Amino acid sequence: MTVIYNRVALIGLGHIASSMFWGIKRAGLAGEITGYARSAETREIARDIGLCDRVCDSAAEAVEDADLVVLCVPVGAMGAVAAEVAPAMKPGATVTDVGSVKRHVIDTVGPHLPQGVHFIPAHPLAGTEHSGPRSGFAELFDNRWCLIVPVEGSDPDAIDRVVRLWQGLGSNVDQMDADHHDLVLAVTSHAPHLIAYTMVGVADDLRRVTDSEVIKYSAAGFRDFTRIAASDPTMWRDVFLSNKDATLEILGRFTEELFALQRAIRTGDGAHLHEYFTRTRAIRRGIIEAGQDTDAPNFGRGAAR
């Protein structure tokens, strides 16, 4: 048990905040953890389930005397929440966040923070399609990456403590520049989510024609799309609106490739299709060889039905 911060304040009490709470408790990384969410309903649930040592009725009360304040709200709400907590923060404290987009958070949160308060943005690459205060669990961050995105001139000690917090939560930690982070995430997470949303939308249209066959005969591939497309609508609306440029860049490339494959199918260009699928298969092999995923069929989840 190594206490890294005497007092941590979690602002927003959803999936990520509740997982952080249980994870911090598991490893004994903080003395006291306070929490605040905007709705009385969420605060009530938090009190009921013992989420946070103390649930406060205002953000200002929650951050008073906190050594670390973690902003755990949708990306589009980060700026307003930072404005709310900033005047109540003690000098020398650190603000971090868990937002899925970094440039927008840095631009909207940074200006509200007073001199003497450190700002160390972060993004845990972990989460499920569930949301809300009941959905968190201590193991969520185990063996997952957490990307720390320090702003220019950040205090090395403040960075080091945030790094140790995430390591204590079970994560592997890397540091990255904000714009690079947003491009990498557009490729690995944001664009794939949009594609899943689209595919489920298309199948939903089709279902009207084919009755319930789309669900009845749904193979694992499509089922995985429906799981991704069940993610929180507010969170994902904010991700796309705040990572506009990188997402549009990747979707532009995606559309070009899709058109090329479409043409190959129409013209019967089997060589093009075979060559393309051979290249993508090699990428999958590379991921397994790098130890970043399992070689077990269907990701080790048993036979696909």
Q: In the complex, which residues of this chain contact ligand NAP (CB under 6 A)?
A: 12-17, 37-39, 42, 72-75, 77, 81, 98-100, 124, 127, 131-132, 232, 235
User: In angstroms, what CA-CA distances link 203 with 79, 197, 199, 251, 258?
Assistant: 37, 10, 6, 20, 18
Is the Cβ of residue 169 or residue 214 nearer to ligand NAP in the bound state?
A: 169
Min dist CB 138 to ligand NAP, Å, is 15
Minimum CB–partner distance for residue 295 and ligand NAP (Å): 25
C-beta of 187: minimal distance to ligand NAP in Å? Answer: 16
Distances in whole angstroms, Cα of residue 82 to Cα of each of 60, 106, 195, 201, 284: 10, 11, 32, 35, 41
Minimum separation from the CB atom of position 248 to ligand NAP (A): 19
Closest approach of ligand NAP to the CB of residue 105, in Å: 8
Dihedrals phi, psi of 80, to nearest 5 degrees? -65, -40
Nearer to ligand NAP by Cβ, of 192 and 269: the residue is 192
Q: Which is nearer to ligand NAP, 5 or 236 (CB)?
A: 236
Nearer to ligand NAP, 55 or 214 (CB): 55
Residue 268 beta carbon to ligand NAP: minimum distance, rounded to whole angstroms: 41
* Both structure tokens of 86: 């900033």
Pick 98 or 117: Cβ nearer ligand NAP: 98
Which is nearer to ligand NAP, 6 or 188 (by Cβ)?
188
